[in-house]
Copies of this chain bind each other. A is one copy, B any other.
Amino acid sequence: MPQITAVTVEDVRFPTSLTADGSDAMNKDGDYSATYVVLHTDGADTVGAPLGGYGLTFTIGRGNDIVAAAALHQARRLVGQDIDAMAADMGAVYRLLTSDSQLRWLGPEKGVVHLSLAAVLNASWDLVARRAGKPLWQLLVDMSPEQLVDIADLRYLSDALTRAEALEILHAKRDTKAARVAELAATGYPAYTTSAGWLGYDDDKLRRLCQEAVDTGYGYVKLKVGADLDDDIRRCSIAREVIGPDRKLMIDANQVWDVGQAVEWVRALARFEPLWIEEPTSPDDILGHAAIRRAVAPVGVATGEHCHNRVMFKQLFQADAIDFCQLDTGRLASVNEIVAVLLLAAKYDVPVCPHAGGVGLCEMVQHVSILDYVAVSGDLTNRVTEFVDHLHEHFTDPCVVRDTGSGSGYVLPTAPGYSTRMHPGSVEQYRFPDGDYWASGAGAQTAPALVSGH
């Protein structure tokens, strides 16, 4: 039986700060980065190639080394594990990786140790999907309701969602899964684009990119806001003018406001009829989001990319704080925690519109959105998944978004795994600080190496 024989963790950074890709009111100069975990095995995949597991979490540069160090702490627990035994009980793998109470203290279930846990578990899920020869969404969709609930972490959720309720949600969708898979195979999963609206782009570039989004079949466009109200009014005017009255406009403040300020600012932009305001304030402020939501309706409130675990999502739902759940596949503890959040969202009838972009997030979220529609929510109403068109060239099985005739959508992945295997050449080039790109000195000012303080 094949086993995990070794693990490697790489600190991979792309110099996105040079082009203002990804710039917003809080994060002006991110270097999109991946803590990249590889689980090496002595086995072969279904076509006889060496079997490995490839997973990541996303950061924006400095500190990616810290996440990598934490991931190595966690991943080495997997060395010697039997892969088929893992596949048979991924709940146990989750518990193994979260059982270290000394590491737990550093969160718990948040920050660096949770990001790194996501990377290690993402690699584990990629591994078992590759072993099964299925794309991850298919592996999950093929599970019974009982199997899905068994891998979900429902701890601390029972006041909002019991195991029986979770099973009920899944059983209600069980017999119609095949029809929804067939539907998505025809249409793709609905996508929207953020590529147009980074804060560092000038008006001409904004106008051009909005037009491109329209031409490519997008029904949704998202803009970054929150640095300057006059600028935001001008940029929203441009975007609304280009996309017309029928397509949806979303705005994203990346946590820059206090609660009262958020209410004022969003009201000042309400005439552009945004579908949602994203991250209006601190991601920890559940009651603040609820207050903002009450004050800015009918503009919806969205958050989740920095929502650090299922307990926070539970409360966002309990407090009626959000209209859209933007869970993040690099921040939650992989499928085990994501399934719990999908079930909570279904119970509270909040649409899940996952956060993506970054590095590899689009590759992952397509699997999550497909799982959500096919097996959990059974609903596409108000659902649309983020897509940002950069850095996909570094993946061996990049996601594909195209206009299927009913708007742009993610095409169902067919390759085995979680779609997050990187080209070895990309890792070699952008590994920090010794990859060819960084060693050449090109990015020295962008992301200084950690040096001893002496």
- Asked whether, in the complex, the Cβ of A63 is within 8 Å of the Cβ of B59, the reply is no
- Asked whether, in the complex, the Cβ of A60 is within 8 Å of the Cβ of B281, the reply is no
* A67, B67: Cα distance in complex, Å: 10
Interface residues of A in 137-161 (CB under 8 A from B): 155-159
User: Which of B9, B59, B109, B261 is A105 in contact with, Cβ under 8 Å?
Assistant: B59
User: Which of B8, B157, B450 is A454 in contact with, Cβ under 8 Å?
Assistant: B8
Taking CB atoms, residues of chain B closer than 8 Å to A158 are: 258-261
**Known A73-B450, A102-B60, A111-B106; contact A311-B284, beta-carbon cutoff 8 A:** yes
Among A28-36, A83-91, A209-217, A374-382, the one that faces the other chain is A28-36
**Known A258-B159, A284-B109; contact A76-B451, beta-carbon cutoff 8 A:** yes
- Asked whether, in the complex, the Cβ of B156 is within 8 Å of the Cβ of A27, the reply is no
Oligomer copy total: 2
Closest to A309 in B: B284
- Asked whether, in the complex, the Cβ of A111 is within 8 Å of the Cβ of B107, the reply is yes
- Asked whether, in the complex, the Cβ of A106 is within 8 Å of the Cβ of B312, the reply is no
Taking CB atoms, residues of chain B closer than 8 Å to A27 are: 101-102, 104-105
Q: Does A110 contact B (CB under 8 A)?
A: yes
Closest to A319 in B: B287
- Asked whether, in the complex, the Cβ of B287 is within 8 Å of the Cβ of A63, the reply is no
Taking CB atoms, residues of chain B closer than 8 Å to A258 are: 155-159
- Asked whether, in the complex, the Cβ of A156 is within 8 Å of the Cβ of B102, the reply is no
User: Which of B60, B75, B284, B447 is A453 in contact with, Cβ under 8 Å?
Assistant: B75
- Asked whether, in the complex, the Cβ of B72 is within 8 Å of the Cβ of A69, the reply is no
**Known A62-B73, A108-B283; contact A102-B259, beta-carbon cutoff 8 A:** no
Interface residues of A in 273-306 (CB under 8 A from B): 281-288, 291, 306
Q: Does A182 contact B (CB under 8 A)?
A: no
Closest to A59 in B: B105
Taking CB atoms, residues of chain B closer than 8 Å to A314 are: 285
Q: Does A44 contact B (CB under 8 A)?
A: no
Taking CB atoms, residues of chain B closer than 8 Å to A79 are: 453
- Asked whether, in the complex, the Cβ of A102 is within 8 Å of the Cβ of B159, the reply is no
The distance from the CB of A266 to the nearest CB of chain B, in whole angstroms, is 15
Among A112-120, A362-370, A397-405, A423-431, the one that faces the other chain is A112-120
* A113, B105: Cα distance in complex, Å: 13
- Asked whether, in the complex, the Cβ of B453 is within 8 Å of the Cβ of A76, the reply is yes
- Asked whether, in the complex, the Cβ of A101 is within 8 Å of the Cβ of B315, the reply is no
Taking CB atoms, residues of chain B closer than 8 Å to A70 are: 63, 66, 112
Q: Does A228 contact B (CB under 8 A)?
A: no
- Asked whether, in the complex, the Cβ of B451 is within 8 Å of the Cβ of A102, the reply is no
Q: Per-residue CB proximity of A302-336 to B under 8 Å, as 1/0?
A: 00001011011011001100000000000000000
- Asked whether, in the complex, the Cβ of B159 is within 8 Å of the Cβ of A106, the reply is no
User: Which of B31, B63, B306 is A113 in contact with, Cβ under 8 Å?
Assistant: B63
- Asked whether, in the complex, the Cβ of A315 is within 8 Å of the Cβ of B291, the reply is no
Taking CB atoms, residues of chain B closer than 8 Å to A59 are: 102, 105-106
Q: Per-residue CB proximity of A1-45 to B under 8 Å, as 1/0?
A: 000001111000000000000000011111100000000000000
Closest to A108 in B: B306
- Asked whether, in the complex, the Cβ of A115 is within 8 Å of the Cβ of B106, the reply is yes
Q: Does A100 contact B (CB under 8 A)?
A: yes
Q: Does A65 contact B (CB under 8 A)?
A: yes
Q: Does A452 contact B (CB under 8 A)?
A: yes
Taking CB atoms, residues of chain B closer than 8 Å to A72 are: 450, 452-453
Taking CB atoms, residues of chain B closer than 8 Å to A7 are: 453-454
**Known A8-B453, A110-B284, A286-B286; contact A102-B31, beta-carbon cutoff 8 A:** yes
* A453, B116: Cα distance in complex, Å: 15
**Top 8 A-B pairs ranked by shortest CB distance?**
A111-B111, A112-B112, A7-B453, A61-B102, A159-B259, A62-B102, A284-B311, A156-B282
In the complex, 19 of the A-B residue pairs with CB atoms within 8 angstroms, ordered by the A residue number, are A7-B453, A60-B101, A60-B102, A62-B102, A62-B103, A63-B103, A66-B73, A66-B113, A79-B453, A106-B112, A106-B115, A108-B255, A156-B282, A156-B285, A156-B288, A158-B259, A158-B260, A285-B311, A286-B287
Known: A63-B113, A66-B106. 18 other contacts (CB 8 A): A7-B453, A28-B101, A63-B106, A66-B112, A66-B113, A67-B106, A70-B112, A72-B450, A72-B453, A110-B111, A112-B112, A112-B113, A156-B259, A159-B259, A284-B315, A285-B315, A286-B287, A288-B315
